[in-house]
Structure 1
Amino acid sequence: MLAIQTNPQPAALAIDVGFGYTKAVSSTGGKVIFPSVVAPAGSPDAFDRLDKSDTGYRVRIKKGIDGLLEEWLVGELALKEGREVQYFQDWEKHSHPAHDAVLLAAAVLTWNWPRAGSGIMGISNPALVVGLPVDVWRDELQREGLKKHLAGLAAEVSVNGNDPVRVTFSRVYVYPQAAGAFLTVPDLPDSGIVALVDVGQKTTDSAAIEIVNGRQRLVKTMCFSINKGMAALVEAVREEFRRQTGAPLPPQQAWETVKSGSLWYRGKQIDMAPAIKKARSEIARAIADQVLAGWGERADFVRKVYLAGGGILDLPDLKNMFPAAAVLPGPQWANALGFLKVARGLAV
């Protein structure tokens, strides 16, 4: 006889697979964030070295009944131990072969799935909401293609050597980034045009609504993506390093340099702080200029601008470049939390 698990709360899961970080939250309180980076788990040494002091995940995936077993290092473990590290570079990141590895790892880490072969039904399949950059989301083939793929996804997944669980989703919805973050705004004004700017790793998304007599209307011409985000800061650091040393700087080392302001190279400490400060200001200005240009003549009539995304934490100057701007609480989580609100509605 099949066992049945009941869930008094809506079974809902939201996963925001970003170019930089993957964020996931669930209606049961699960929450996880890790770099959107993977590497084939070809070396057994990587798992042998995984202990309590390390972070990151070793993920084994078998899709369908006859699917081949895939093994990936995901997140920090891929950065530390992976030999063929893969980043999401294209706007259509969901078509990357490793996209499912990142998404399934996040799903397993935030939901109580049944063990593979256990026969448990019910709580095993939450509704899932994911996001796409606004301009990619507009493309029906991309949007519906991702939805169809995830709706048909059934996999047995093991993380860090734990028993494999079976992952499927009851319903899938694809939501535009920035619009998801809009759902978390705590203090919308009662009238006027309100915009949200979501700064990510590779893209920045804009969304806007007009509020009239308490009713909200989407301002479609102010909803778009621009191809600039925090990755531009990493590239600026790599370029400055090459200028000073003549040598290339790996992307992960560049990220660490952004945080620390300096690095050691061949026994010499190289101060990158002035270059980083200059790059932050220039990138913030470039993002603001492109977004304001996209808003056109409406830009001067925006009542409030909300800022979200992990990129806003590294580009604080942006707050002074938009009228009446405010940073959302927990800006890196804004889209995921907004997606979860949508997922709860689907699960009812």
Structure 2
Amino acid sequence: MFKIGLDLGYGFLKGINEEGKKVLMPSLVGTGSERTLSRVFGNGSEYDSQEVEIEASAVARDENGSLKEFTASGRYFVGELARKESRIPAFAFDRNKIAHEATMVLIGVGAALLTDRNRDIHIVTGPPLKYFKEQKKAFEQILKSYNADIAFGDGTKRRVSFAKTTVFPQGAAAVYALLTFNPDLWKPGSAIILVEVGFKTTEILTFEITENKTIVPVSSASDTLELGTSNTVKDIIDAVYQKLGVKIDSAMAEECVRREGIVYRGKEVGLGEVIRKSRRDIARTIRDEIKLIIGNRFDFVNCVSLAGGGAADLFEFFSDFYDDVRMVDDPQFANAYGYLEVAKMLDEDL
């Protein structure tokens, strides 16, 4: 069975398969249209993997036990192509995002790009730790019943369904990536704080390694914060409005963060200081929350480790936070790596 780990992040879709192939794109989905002009200028094929015709469906029972169908049908742009070409590209910001039309599209696109042909797939993915208990059943039902026919812009076609599904919480998955890349921590008696900084949420997970090298989460010292790199996007939207008197959307604000500025009426307007202040404020809030959540355990852990798409942006603001502060290798893919490790372990046990 072909194993893939798919991190359905609020900001980015990240995936990796058992052969090491990766997928990374913004979790943006918008209505598709003809790209005649792009092809005239010879750059149409660059985004063929982000232009899809899809017919996807899945079913799940709601809280009343009624069966509900979830679908995505039509032409869509995803990722950077959605940002550039769709009139109103959207992130799936819903708390229960598995039921969102955009997520239905991203599941199919991510799985299709990670497989070079139609295969029996074992997918591992999941919601944030805080929502795991309430959303696990919906994730399982939708993934198990998921079926999609997908045609990409270059004519490639895929049929996506999952022979095996495993739902595992974000953040907890990143633990496996941390220990894989830092084997010195995988020793009896270790206690570690993992901070997984995402787009909309930040996972704080404290765990210990037992004498037989089993990972034991400390639930009382773990939590999900409604805080992430999207706070910087909001700060950019506010700053642009204050400086220029214009309202920009989240997709454009994301572009401003990458460029550290915006072009307005032919002039470059720098936003570097706004971005740096925003990141410093996010880091300070996370640091305060860690101490509040961990309590008097804080001084007795081996290290504090950062993972997630926001880890690299915030790492400098954590350098004086603890004696041993680390960043997981390839931090943006930490959950995806972890999901893949979970798939490998489960399949080895068969």
Q: TM-score, normalised by structure 2?
A: 0.86
What pairs with 1:334-345 in structure 2 (closer than 5 Å)?
334-345=334-345
1:280 is matched with which residue? Answer: 279
Q: Partner residue of 1:179?
A: 172
Q: For each residue in 1:282-308, what CA deviation from the matched residue of structure 2 results, as whole angstroms up to 9, or x when unmatched? A: 111112212321222322222211110
When structure 1 is superposed on structure 2, of 32-41 and 47-56 the one drifting more is: 47-56
| Residue aligning to 1:5 | none
Aligned residue for 1:91, secondary structure, equals coil
Q: Which amino acid aligns with 1:328?
A: V
- 2:108 matched residue in structure 1: 104
Alignment-derived partner of residue 202 in structure 2? 204
1:91 CA displacement: 2.5
CA distance in 1, matches of 2:195, 2:343: 22
> Secondary structure at 1:176's aligned position in 2?
coil
Where 1:254 maps in the other structure, the secondary structure is: helix
> In the alignment, which residue of structure 1 is the partner of 2:327?
327
> Is it true that 1:130 corresponds to 2:125 in the alignment?
yes
Give the corresponding residue for 1:118.
none
2:23 to 10, 32, 36: 32
Match of 1:91 in 2: 95
Q: 1:318 to 1:148 in 2, by over 3 A?
A: farther
The residue type paired with residue 259 of structure 1 is R
How far, CA to CA, are the matches of 1:237 and 1:163 in structure 2? Answer: 38
Secondary structure class of the residue paired with 1:277: helix
From 114, 117, 126, the counterpart of 1:113 = 117
How far apart are the structure 2 equivalents of 1:167 and 1:56? 15
Q: Which has the higher helix share?
A: 2
Q: 2:32 aligns with which of 38, 41, 52?
A: 41
Amino acid at match of 1:154: N
CA distance in 2 between counterparts of 1:170 and 1:336 reads 19
Residue 77 (structure 1) aligned with residue 81 (structure 2): yes
> 5+ residue gaps in structure 1?
1-9, 115-123
In structure 1, what is the Cα distance between the partners aligned to 2:245 and 2:204?
38
8 Å CA contact 1:30, 1:109 repeated in 2 = no
Partner of 1:239: 238
Greater mean alpha carbon deviation, residues 68-77 or residues 193-202: 68-77
For the 8 Å contact 2:306–2:315, the answer to whether it is kept is no
1:291 aligned residue: 290
Describe the superposition over 1:74-110 as per-residue Cα deviations: whole angstroms up to 9, x where unpaired: 1111111111211121232212111011111011111
- Separation in structure 2 between the aligned mates of residue 167 and residue 101 of structure 1, nearest angstrom: 11
1:123-161: CA deviation from partner (whole Å, max 9, x where unpaired):
x2111100211001132xx11111111111122212224
Q: Distance in 2 between matches of 1:221 and 1:72?
A: 42
* 1:246-287 C-alpha deviation (Å, 9 max, x unpaired): 211232332222222222212333222222222221111112
The answer on whether the counterparts of 2:72 and 2:104 sit within 8 Å (CA) in structure 1 is: no
Unpaired stretches in structure 2, ≥5 consecutive residues: 59-70
1:334 is matched by which residue type in structure 2? Answer: A
* Percent identity of paired positions between Structure 1 and Structure 2: 28
Cα pair distance change 1:336/1:264, threshold 3 Å: same
Deviations 1:220-255 (CA, angstroms, capped at 9, x unpaired):
112321000000011111111111122112323322
TM-score, normalization by structure 1: 0.87
